[in-house]
Amino acid sequence: MIATTANGQPAAAVYHRDAGGELRAARVVVLTTTLTGVSRVTEFHDPVLAATFGFS
């Protein structure tokens, strides 16, 4: 995982190894936070979206 932000919220790019052993950005996870902690975790399972954030 590599930390980033999405619309001002904490987020992370999640990587997985492909069949050849290379790490590839697989999805983006966005955390919705409140004063008491994390209230929601939203996952976008689209490698194209990860590339939009500059991750490959």
Q: Given this model, what pLDDT does residue 33 score? A: 95
Grade residue 52 by pLDDT with cuts at 50, 70 and 90.
confident
E strands, 1-56, where? 2-6, 9-17, 23-34, 37-44
| pLDDT tens, residue by residue, 8-42 | 999 999 999 999 999 999 999 999 999 999 999 99
Q: Given this model, what pLDDT does residue 46 score? A: 87
Domain regions of the chain by residue span: 2-52
Apex CA 18: angle with CA 48 and CA 50, to 5°? 20
